[in-house]
Amino acid sequence: MDTIDIRTVNVVQYISPLREGGSLPAIVKADDGFMYVLKFRGAGQGKKALIAELLGGELARAIGLKIPELVFMDLDDSFSKTEPDEEIQDLLKFSVGLNLGLHFLSSAITYDPLVFEINEDTASKVVLLDSIISNIDRTVKNTNLLHWNKELWIIDNGASFYFHHNWSTWENHLTRTFPLIKDHVLLEKATKLKEASKHIITSLTKDKVKEIVSIIPEDWLINESDALSPDDIRNAYITYIHSRLNKIDELVKEAEHAR
C-alpha cells in the first residue's frame, strides 16, 4: 500500500486571487518553482474547509480518481504588508502559518456535462465518493471538476464533512444517508455504482482511512469553539467515514433511486 507523503512548501509569490471562489483562493508560487491554488486558513470556513479539502482529496486519490497534488503551504506575514486590497490583506494576515495548496493545472477547463464525455466507472466513483464525504457542492451550477489532459480531475472538496461545523451533534449524522446526491452533476452518468462500491470498499481499508486522517496537521484541529480534543476529532472523522462505508449499499440504492 502506498504511503501518503504530503510535501510542505513555502509561498514566495502571491500572483492573483480567484474571485469565482467564495473563499477567495489564490494562485501563488512556491519555493519549489511550481504554482498552486492556495486555500486559506483565514477564509470563511477556516481550517475546517482545509481539513475537508485534504480528506476528500486523499480519499479520492485512494480510490483511483485524479486529483492535483495537495501540499501544505507555509505563508509568512510579509505578504499582507504589501497587499493594497484590504479584503485580501486581511485574508493574508489571518492565514499566516500552514495552509493547503493544490497543484495548479495550467489550461484546465471547468467540466461541462454538455461538452465533455465521461466514462460510467469514473462518474460512479465520484458520485459514491461525494455520498461518503457528504459533499454538497458538486452540482450543475458549480461542478468543482476540471477537464485536463483529456481526463476528469477532482478539485474543491471543502464543502464536505459539514457535520464538523457543530461537534455537539456530529453523532446524529452517523445514521443518515445523503439525499442531496439527487443534485449531483454526474448522477446521470453514474450507471456502475455497484461495481464502484466494491472497488471503494477494497481501496478504503481501515488502515488506509486511519492513515489519511492522521495527516491532518494538529494545528488545524485546535479551535477555541470546539469541545473535542484533536484526538477525539480524528476519531470522529474515522468513525464517520466507516459509518458511510458500512452503509455503502444504502448509498448505492439512494443514488440509483435519485437517478
> What element of type H or E holds 110?
strand 109-110
Question: How many other β-carbons are positioned within 10 Å of the β-carbon of residue 212?
Answer: 22
The partner residues of 74 in beta bridges, in order of sequence, read 10, 98
Tell me what pLDDT residue 1 has: 52
Strands 97-103 and 109-110, bridge-based pairing: unpaired
Domain interval for residue 231 = 109-258
Q: Which of 67, 86, 103 is the last residue of a domain?
A: 103
Percent of the chain with pLDDT over 90: 81
Mean pLDDT (the chain, rounded): 93
One domain, residues 249 and 140? yes
Tell me what pLDDT residue 168 has: 92
Q: Burial, 172: exposed, middle or buried (Cβ in 10 Å; 0-12, 13-18, 19+)?
A: exposed
Tell me what pLDDT residue 82 has: 79
One domain, residues 28 and 155? no
Tell me what pLDDT residue 143 has: 93
* Cβ partners under 8 Å of residue 224, min gap 6: none
What is the C-alpha separation between 34 and 26, in angstroms, rounded? Answer: 14
What is the C-alpha separation between 65 and 49, in angstroms, rounded? Answer: 20
One domain, residues 122 and 246? yes
What is the C-alpha separation between 83 and 165, in angstroms, rounded? Answer: 31
* Cβ partners under 8 Å of residue 120, min gap 6: 189, 190, 191, 192
One domain, residues 130 and 87? no
Q: Tell me the pLDDT tens digit for each residue of 102-155.
A: 999 999 999 998 889 899 999 999 999 999 999 999 999 989 999 999 999 999
Q: Tell me the pLDDT tens digit for each residue of 70-105.
A: 999 999 998 888 788 888 888 899 999 999 999 999
Please check the confidence at residue 21 and state whether its pLDDT lies above 60: no
Helices 230-246 & 46-62, crossing angle to 10 degrees?
A: 40
Q: CA angle, 114 as apex, 109 and 117 as ends, to 5°?
A: 75
Q: Is residue 81 part of a domain?
A: yes
> What element of type H or E holds 194?
helix 193-203
The number of domains in the chain is: 2
Q: Which three cell numbers stand for residue 138?
A: 458538486
One domain, residues 24 and 51? yes
One domain, residues 51 and 148? no
Amino acid identity for residue 239 in this structure = T
Average pLDDT rounded to a whole number, residues 39-49: 91
Confidence of residue 45 (pLDDT cuts 50, 70, 90): confident
One domain, residues 117 and 154? yes
Q: Are 200 and 245 in contact (CB under 8 A)?
A: yes
> What element of type H or E holds 154?
strand 151-154
Q: Tell me the pLDDT tens digit for each residue of 222-251.
A: 987 778 999 999 999 999 999 999 999 999
